[in-house]
């Protein structure tokens, strides 16, 4: 579980995060949504301590990152998996070597143990048969699965994902969403996903945090977002004609059931 308490972040006097408080539970996929400039990326990077917050508290299972020593922060990093928007794979390393990389960095496992763990993960993310290929030799969807495999190879307690479906077709996006859900529930991971993908919101949004202008505008889940009374959220979620039509259908269904 990650608790965020009155988180604020300024850059040269400009307030980007203006006091956000929320809780992200383990074993759930927690989505952070909002328009460009809403503060999503700064929020995620503050949780990862890439940016040091101006004030507030971030507690990882009760441990306040703002109070940690350098060694304690390093230990926490070994418990975190990160999926970057572009994948950030090493072009010169094979799929297997990319996935094994965190084991080389953070563990004292033997070569055989690392190899066994890498093959377990490659099976979990359905990369059998691609172990010796380079990133340039596989599809964008497979590259995303490599990035997920690398992020989970250390059995992280916390998984951070920045636009994991960016650039993918709808079918492959659904595959990635299903995989994130499966991993989160299986390992009881605290998973936080920054996304613009409304399909992800509707399918895996077990908790949804909507940010606007550096503030928490709304929070709920996929079952309540469709009927939310917040106008800004409605305008954001129903920006496409498809979702506008879906909302109208749901509202009519609600009225007919009264």
Predicted confidence (pLDDT) per residue in 41-60, tens digit: 999 999 999 999 999 999 99
- 2-221 is a CATH 3.20.20.10 domain: no
Q: How far is CA 150 from the centre of its chain?
A: 14
On average, the pLDDT of the chain sits at 88
- pLDDT tier at 233, thresholds 50, 70, 90: confident
For residues 210-235, b (16+ Cβ closer than 10 Å) or e, as one string? bbbebebbbbbebeebbebeeebbbe
- pLDDT tier at 256, thresholds 50, 70, 90: low
Burial label, 111 (beta-carbon count in 10 A; 0-12, 13-18, 19+): exposed
Please check the confidence at residue 217 and state whether its pLDDT lies above 90. Answer: yes
Spatial distance between the Cα atoms of 183 and 171, rounded to a whole number of angstroms: 19
pTM here is: 0.86
Tokens of residue 94, six digits: 């094979």
Instruction: Sketch the domain layout of the chain as residue ranges.
Output: 2-221
Spatial distance between the Cα atoms of 20 and 136, rounded to a whole number of angstroms: 40
Structure-derived torsion over alpha carbons of residues 7, 31, 149, 45, reported in degrees to the nearest 10: -20
Burial label, 92 (beta-carbon count in 10 A; 0-12, 13-18, 19+): exposed
Predicted confidence (pLDDT) per residue in 124-159, tens digit: 888 888 889 999 999 888 898 999 999 999 989 999
Give the mean model confidence (pLDDT) for residues 9-20: 94
- pLDDT tier at 205, thresholds 50, 70, 90: very high
Predicted confidence (pLDDT) per residue in 76-113, tens digit: 988 999 988 777 889 999 999 999 998 988 888 999 99
Please check the confidence at residue 258 and state whether its pLDDT lies above 80. Answer: no
Tokens of residue 155, six digits: 């059995």
Tokens of residue 1, six digits: 């579980």
């Amino acid at each position: 579980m990650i608790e965020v308490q009155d988180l604020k972040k300024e850059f040269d006097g400009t307030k980007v995060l203006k006091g956000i408080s929320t809780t992200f539970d383990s074993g759930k996929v927690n989505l952070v949504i909002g328009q460009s400039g809403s503060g999503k990326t700064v929020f995620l990077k503050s949780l990862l301590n890439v940016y040091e917050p101006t004030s507030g508290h971030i507690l990882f299972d009760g441990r306040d990152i703002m109070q940690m020593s350098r060694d304690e922060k390093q230990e926490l990093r070994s418990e975190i998996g990160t999926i970057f928007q572009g994948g950030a794979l090493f072009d010169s390393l094979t799929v297997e070597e990319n996935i094994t990389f965190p084991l080389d960095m953070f563990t004292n496992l033997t070569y055989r143990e690392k190899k066994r763990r890498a093959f377990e993960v490659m099976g979990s993310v359905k990369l059998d048969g691609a172990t010796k290929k380079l990133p340039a030799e596989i599809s964008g969807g497979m590259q995303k699965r490599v990035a997920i495999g690398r992020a989970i190879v250390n059995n992280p307690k916390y998984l951070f994902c920045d636009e994991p479906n960016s650039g993918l077709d709808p079918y492959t996006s659904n595959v990635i969403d299903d995989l994130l859900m499966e991993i989160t529930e299986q390992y009881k991971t605290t998973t936080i996903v920054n996304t613009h993908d409304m399909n992800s919101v509707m399918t895996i949004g077990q908790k949804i945090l909507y940010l606007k202008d550096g503030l928490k505008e709304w929070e709920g889940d996929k079952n309540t977002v469709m009927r939310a009374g917040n106008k800004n959220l409605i305008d954001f979620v129903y920006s496409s004609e498809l979702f506008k039509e879906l909302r109208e259908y749901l509202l009519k269904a609600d009225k007919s059931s009264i």
